[in-house]
Every structure is written in structure tokens, then in C-alpha cells.
Structure 1
Amino acid sequence: MEQRMKAYAIAYLRNVRMGAGIVEYLERIDETLAPYDGHFIVHGAKPAQIEGEWEGAPIVIEFPDYDHLRDWYESPDYREILPLRTENSDGVVIFVEGVDRTHKATDVLV
């Protein structure tokens, strides 16, 4: 049986304009995550800048697998609130599948 890897929605938000739109987004996002077993694992913490330049807020949401992640992002409930974030912040969002605990750096060479 193929093991399904956890998947992550990772956002790097900048210029977040705190106001009614962002507040509503924050008040509603958890209810959109619940049916897809998504939950925040990084959210709201100020990062310790070690290398390079970082001017924003890191956000990581974990899902059981890529299908749950994609289905959440494309769900009508999330699509309804998405403009509340995109119209009130600048940023980049990526989806990435995780690796298991046995993964070694050299695994990407094969």
C-alpha cells in the first residue's frame, strides 16, 4: 500500500493591512479547514531572521495529504473568503508534499 505523505500550504504574507477584511478572514478560515483535517502548524509567530531578508509573516497549514489540501483550497467555503486575504495583503502561497522521517538529503539525487 502506498503511503500518503502529509501536504502543506505555505504562505509568505507581506503588507498585511489589518482591518475588517483580514479579521473576517481569520474568524472564518478555521471552519473551512475542519472538513479537510487541515490545521495551522505555523501562524502568527515572528520569525527569527537568520539569513537573507524576510519582511513578512510565515504561515504553514498541514493536511493529511495533497488531495485534502487541494480540495480545501478549491472548496466553495474557502473560495468565498479568499478575496478577504488577497485584497488585504501581498504574498506568495505554495503547496508542497512532505517527506517521511526516513528521508535523507541525497534522496533527491535519484
Structure 2
Amino acid sequence: MICYAIGHLRNVEMGAEIVSYLEGIDSTLAPFEGRFVVHGGQKYILEGTFADDVIVIAFPDLARAQSWYASPAYQAILPLRTKNAEGAVFLIDGIGNDHRATDILSPV
């Protein structure tokens, strides 16, 4: 099942280290078939306020997402981001095309 790496970042200090991180991340994703689905972008606020950045990276499955995050290549550039931005990063399973909202009401 598809797995997403979600980043909710705030207070990003755009400088040389973040530029280096951005220049290096694509090559860390390729071996694990990761691809950006959302990477910043214009937000069209419908409710509330949200000034932060959202990043969504899709992987074919949880194992590849975990392997990417733990990989030496990604771990080598990770401090470039963590020293220059605050936020949360997590992995979450996707859902099938036939999912309905009420599916969460049934025990798994």
C-alpha cells in the first residue's frame, strides 16, 4: 500500500544549507521510488489560517519510505533541514481508491 512522508515545516530559514538540502534530496528519493506529490506551493485557504509549508512524498510502501528516511544518503543531508526549520515529519499509509469516509467507523 502506498505510504506518504508528510512534512509540516515552519520557520524555514532559506539559506545555503536549505539550498544544499534541496539540491540533494531528489537523489536520495530515487532508489526508493519516492516522488514529491506536494512541495510547498500556493495555498488556497478555505478555513482558518495556515502559514506553514507542507511537503508530501509518495513511496510504493511503508518499507521503502522507512528505508529512505534511514538511508545514509538522506541522513547525511537531514541536518541541513533540521538546523534550519521547525516542524513535524511522519509516515502515514495511504488508502485505496474504493475508500469511503465511513470506513474508519469499522474495526480494522
Q: Do the structures match in fold with TM over 0.5?
A: yes
Q: Which residue of 2 aligns with 1:92?
A: 88
Aligned pair count reads 106
User: What value does the CA root-mean-square deviation take over the aligned residues?
Assistant: 0.8
Aligned to 2:77: 81
Question: Do residues 43 (structure 1) and 43 (structure 2) align?
Answer: no
Quick one: distance in 2 between partners of 1:46 and 1:86? 23
SS in structure 1 of the partner of residue 90 of structure 2 = strand
C-alpha distance in 2, partners of 1:50/1:87?
A: 32
- Cα distance in 2 for partners of 1:57, 1:75 equals 24
* 2:63 is the alignment partner of 1:67: yes
Match of 2:98 in 1: 102
Deviates more, 1:42-51 or 1:97-106: 42-51
Number of the residue aligned with 1:17: 13
Once residues 51 and 44 of structure 1 are traced to their aligned partners in structure 2, the CA distance between those partners, rounded to angstroms, is 18
Match of 1:34 in 2: 30
State how far apart, in whole Å, the 1-side matches of 2:42 and 2:88 are: 17
Q: Distance in 2 between matches of 1:105 and 1:93?
A: 24
Identity %: 52
Deviations 1:47-94 (A, max 9, x none): 111112212111100000111100000111101100000000111112
Cα distance in 2 for residues equivalent to 1:54 and 1:44 = 12
Unaligned residue ranges in structure 1 (runs of 5+) = none
| TM-score, normalization by structure 1 | 0.93
State which drifts further: 27-36 or 40-49. 40-49
